[in-house]
Structure 1
Amino acid sequence: MSAPMEIEKKFLVSECPALDDFKAEVVRQGYITSGEDSVEVRVRQKGEGYYITVKSKGTLARSEYEAAIEPTQFETLWPATAGRRLEKTRYTGTLPDGAAVELDLFEGHLAGLQLVEVEFASVEEANAFKAPGWFGADVTEDKRYKNSALAVADQPPA
């Protein structure tokens, strides 16, 4: 059985859209592993749900395993993420072409940073994607914008 793949592109936001049609959830996540490790292991609270996720190295396409965990398991693991955390509000919505988007507005040490992600079924689909006007620069390959890197950054990348 092959690993489930996450194929996504990430962009800065040049102009935040109206969020009336988006669903908002507060997200707090922390990384158990450090950026130098061969895989990312994180715990996340997203709204009322709790998850543990393991991701391979990579940018555009990488394997991803995620499982729901109990709140007590999250709270047990949370101290292991000290110094490698971030908080954001995630707005999920749909583009006019039907593509699902996740718009993250960061808080705390990353306040002011706005990123938008779009997931795809294939690398070819991702490469053919035409970003709408409110999307800014494509930062998919810029490792400074990976959540694991942002979690340990002092401030948003310049």
Structure 2
Amino acid sequence: MEDKAGVVQGQSVRAGKYSRVERERRFLLARPPELSAVTTTRVITDRYVVETRLRLRRADFTDGRCELKLTQKVPVLQPGAVQGLITNTYLSPAEYDVLAALPAAVLSKCRFSVPPLGVDVFDGHLQGLVLAEAEFTSNKEAQSFMPPAECVAEVTDDTRFTGGQLVRTSRQDLLRWLAEYGLYPEGSQDAAE
């Protein structure tokens, strides 16, 4: 059964003809990764289309490539690595421009690939948030994953640390949430007062 927000409740989540099951675990880090460990870097701008489950993403890679896609996420209300269903459509620049005209809340970050993690370093009002995620193809793989030592806390089940929530989060709320996990980004005492 799906509620009005599109959240799958009380049933198992299975891939469909166009969607796949998204399995990921998320972790807070105290600082960005060492650049020597990074294999790929991209600047990501996410546009969360108002009153929908749609996210429009632009990813600009350091080698000049640009990836444009429209994503629909149907979250599931259950703990663990299964986040719900995800459907991606890759777009041309013209298609992206048409969709970018829709009203949206915008979130930007720099993503560093540090296998097995993707590490997001946020800017703007989310500056100081460093969030890592690992994606998996099976439940067994997700359950057996041992996070690297630089992972301070697991926040997989803390929905405050999902893109759809972070895009609507105030700076003060973010600092309070990070403090709950013992993280105090540089300059956060001034911003919290």
Give the TM interval when normalised to the shorter protein: 0.7 to 0.9
1:24 partner letter: T
Q: What's the secondary structure of 2:101's corresponding residue?
A: helix
- Contact residue 15 and residue 135 of structure 1 kept, 8 A: no
2:70 aligned to which of 46, 49, 52 = 52
Change (3 A) 1:108 1:50: same
Show the counterpart of 2:96: 74
- SS of the equivalent of 1:25 reads strand
What is residue 130 of structure 1 aligned with on the other side? 146
Q: Which runs of 5+ in 2 are unaligned?
A: 1-14, 61-65, 178-193
Matched residue SS, 1:148: helix
User: Comparing both chains, which one has the higher relative contact order based on Cα–Cα distances under 8 Å and sequence gaps of 6 or more?
Assistant: 1
Give the structure with the larger helix fraction.
2
Q: CA RMSD in A?
A: 1.8
Instruction: Indicate the structure with greater strand content.
Output: 1
Measured in 1, the distance between the counterparts of 2:139 and 2:50 equals: 27
Q: Percent identity, aligned pairs only?
A: 27
Figure out how many residues of one structure are paired with residues of the other and give that number. Answer: 148
Asked if 1:115 is matched to 2:131, the reply is: yes
1:91 to 108, 112, 132: 112
TM-score normalised by the chain length of structure 1 = 0.85
Q: Distance in 1 between matches of 2:106 and 2:54?
A: 12
Give the greater-gyration-radius structure (CA): 2
Give 2:109's aligned amino acid. Answer: K
Q: Which residue of 1 aligns with 2:45?
A: 28
Gaps in structure 1 of 5+ consecutive residues = 95-99
